[in-house]
Amino acid sequence: MPELTRRRALGAAAVVAAGVPLVALPAARADDQGHHTPEVPETPAASGAPAAFDEIYKGRRIQGRTVTDGGGHHGGGHGGDGHGGGHHGGGYAVFVDGVELHVMRNADGSWISVISHYDPVDTPRAAARAAVDELQGARLLPFPSN
């Protein structure tokens, strides 16, 4: 997981620079404890959500960002009993050419999307790139239609 590793490394470096004893804390936990590091813009929010991204990959715009979970924008299934209806990426949303790609975070921190549901990757950006690879130029359909 190159991105998380890099973020951890940056966080650890910042802790050392601040004169605090180096401890093996994930960056998000360090954040919780108030070791703020303004010189490291990519330090994630206290929620542990990954950093936002926005890039052109194989000619398509992929974006990821933390979202406020309004709920109800897609039917997670299970018979409309109130299950689903929110983001399963822990308040993180991914888009391909502006269309939302359903992503989900696994217990071990890896990510999948509805386009590659059985093949976890390390970050939501990697899931977005895997979706672009898989789509081969096809347009993504917005859920709830999927």
Candidates 9-17, 25-33, 48-56, 128-136; binding stretch for other proteins (CB under 8 A): 128-136
Nearest to 114 by CA among 103, 99, 122: 103
Mask of contacts with other proteins, 81-120, x by CB under 8 A?
x-xx---x-------------x-xxxxx-----xxxxxxx
Other CB atoms closer than 10 Å to residue 17's CB: what's the count? 11
125 binds other proteins (CB under 8 A): no
79 binds other proteins (CB under 8 A): yes
53: helix, strand or coil: strand
- Please give the Cα distance from 27 to 104 (Å, whole number): 21
Residue 14 or 140: which CB sits closer to other proteins?
140
